[in-house]
Amino acid sequence: MSETTRALTDAQRRAVHELMRVSPVADELGRRFAAAGHELHLVGGSVRDALLGRLGDDLDFTTDARPEQTLRIIDGWAEAVWTTGQEFGTIGLARRGLRIEVTTFRADAYDRVSRNPIVQYGDSLVDDLRRRDFAVNAMAVSVPGHEFTDPYGGLTDLAERVLRTPGAPEDSFADDPLRMLRAARFAAQLRFSVAPEVRAAMVAMAGDLSRITAERIRDEFVKLMCGADPITGLRLLVDTGLAETFLPELTGLKLEIDEHAQHKDVYEHTLIVVRNAMGHETDGPDFTLRMAALMHDVGKPATKAVGPDGGVSFHHHEVVGARLTKQRMKALKFPKDVISDVSELVMLHLRFYGYGRGEWTDSAVRRYVTDAGPLLPRLHSLTRSDVTTRNRRKAAQLAADYDALEARIARIAAEEDLARVRPDLDGNAIMELLGVPPGPVVGRAWRHLKELRLERGPLDRDEAEAELLRWAAAEGLTKP
């Protein structure tokens, strides 16, 4: 038995197991469509995932019934119905814990200027499958008959773990350039390779991705980054030129290594840091951490300098990198809180270096914790992930230094409740002691006391009041 044949047999065995789990609902729905004179097929990603043994509770079906006919067929059977996709031929419903979408056969045409299709209903399952992105997503299983339809060799591609398009890739990508990014996403999620002709079309047509909205690119990119193997997806983005369209900072990390001014290959180092960061995740993929790992050194190309001795430096690359990260993520329409968290991690990722030289006071540790705030666990992970040196002694020393810092943070936190560092006097106490109303003076006094708190640790009430009065006198403020 060949490896491909064995893989096909295993895939079919997994599919039977997965389909048995959903068959009671799927077959019941199929019988309702058949009674009304219509076909119903499990399709696309649902069939692919069943063959991979990872079918979830979201099922996709296709049918020759029009949306209004689908609504009549499921009336009284579905436990919930939603029609937000009706204009595109999709009706959603829920039944026994399954979320189901039923879409009318499509025969869309594309204007090839935007990516928006002119929605046209079709009458053929095979034609519907042909308009799908990849052959592994162009398979169907009829219900309740369980007849398998695979006109474009998706099952073989699945066994060989390769992505091909049902038709010519140039035609597929011209219709919808987002499919090129989706190829990289599936490579990351499913650990599939990309067929040579598909890769060649991606290289030739990478610029067409500019036709796609930032929001749709962002959504595909997030899925890629949260995949099981984002490194493969990222390499594909760079190698095909797709990254240049929406994330040129990643391509820019491929710095030329000077003959005499040697430094790490920043691009390769970055990919290692992303992989290292994944090893620190404890509750599934953490996009914020992975994105910070990807962007942490994007400020290096702009800050690279060669000294008189031939040494290379990247002074303040964390500051430049945080700014570039913020700009790029804003252009991709990420939510403000995600942009803030990722750019802050980029800004802080170098703060730890120097701790091992014994230069940090307890005040510096307090500031480290306070500046990181709720990002501290991710900052720990990012900083540790950034150690990619092949020098084992140096790597062990950095790890020991960070172990010591975390232990010191834990000690000070236990003593001072670092998670809630606040001035030793609140706003009401400041107003009462200084005899001032709410306003800018109270804010300035509050910030001064917080600085003291970070610098010296907790003060008792008398010390805090004395320090506030000294500050007020220096500021020319007197209690009336």
Q: What is the pTM of this model?
A: 0.81
Give the C-alpha separation, 159 to 262, whole Å. Answer: 44
Position 157 confidence tier, pLDDT thresholds 50, 70, 90: very high
Q: Among 13-27, 42-56, 321-335, whose mean pLDDT is lowest?
A: 13-27
Give the C-alpha separation, 105 to 121, whole Å. Answer: 6
- Angle CA(217)–CA(220)–CA(226) in degrees, nearest 5? 135
Domain with CATH 3.30.460.10 in the chain: 1-160
CATH number for 1-160 (one of 2.60.120.10, 1.10.443.10, 3.30.420.40, 3.30.460.10): it is 3.30.460.10
Domain with CATH 1.10.110.30 in the chain: 162-246
- Encode pLDDT of 272-312 as tens digits: 999 999 999 999 999 999 999 999 999 998 888 777 776 77
180 neighbors 209 (Cβ within 8 angstroms): yes
Across 6-12, average pLDDT: 71
Q: Which of 188-197, 246-255, 408-417 has the highest mean pLDDT?
A: 188-197
- Encode pLDDT of 33-84 as tens digits: 999 999 999 999 999 998 888 888 999 999 999 999 999 999 999 999 999 9
| pLDDT at residue 118, as a whole number | 66
Residue 5 has pLDDT above 70, yes or no: no
Residue 394 has pLDDT above 50, yes or no: yes
- Encode pLDDT of 410-431 as tens digits: 887 776 555 555 555 677 787 8
Q: State which fold the 162-246 domain adopts.
A: Hydrophobic Seed Protein (1.10.110)
| pLDDT at residue 261, as a whole number | 46
Please give the residue that has the higher pLDDT: either 198 or 141.
198
Q: Which residues pair with 80 in a beta bridge?
A: 94
46: its two tokens: 């649902």
- Encode pLDDT of 115-148 as tens digits: 556 678 888 999 999 999 999 999 999 999 888 8
Give the C-alpha separation, 428 to 82, whole Å. Answer: 52
Across 383-411, average pLDDT: 88
Residue 477 has pLDDT above 80, yes or no: no
Task: Tell which residue, 24, 40, 32, has the closest CA to residue 76.
Answer: 32
